[in-house]
Amino acid sequence: MDWIAFASMLVAVVAVMYSVAISRSQRKQERRNLFLSLNEQLMHPDLQRGRTLLRDLINDTQDAKDLFDRRQAEYWDISQAVAMFDLLGLYVKRDYVDEDLVMAEWGKTLTLVYEKHGESFIEAREISLGWPPYPHFKTLAENARAKGKGH
């Protein structure tokens, strides 16, 4: 093989390696930016209020049913907070965000909100809808609990 062909091949290999490295770096940056955006959304006062209402008002499925009947605005605040955690769980499942980052930042909150409170809310929604809602929140919270992110 002559030197020109070898140099051309070497340049091509270096270019491909550089392209792969840049692509990986961009993917990592995109995942980090998405996590930061989700984190910012999860810290929104409306979602914080929904999580607080969930912990304060829902202890069993009957509480969720009663809340829907008597105080729908608060019920929908809770639903919005639960839906956001479900989206977070979907993003973890699809590997759009890093699960370790999510667990470090939200693991304890996920467990505290899900145990008893979220489980009861989801069960009541499932009864009313006829199908299981929020599967990703459930999986994410159970993973957090399994990783010791609870009480």
What's the pLDDT tens digit per position in 48-83? 999 999 999 999 999 999 998 999 899 999 999 999
Give which of 79, 70, 63, 56 is closest to 133, Cα–Cα.
Answer: 79
Q: State the pLDDT at residue 1.
A: 63
pTM of the model: 0.82
Give which of 66, 41, 36, 61 is closest to 51, Cα–Cα.
Answer: 41
Residue ranges of alpha helices (H) inside the chain are 3-42, 45-57, 61-70, 72-93, 99-113, 119-129, 135-146
CB 114 within 8 A of CB 51: no
CB 30 within 8 A of CB 87: no
- Compute the C-alpha angle 146/148/151, nearest 5°: 120
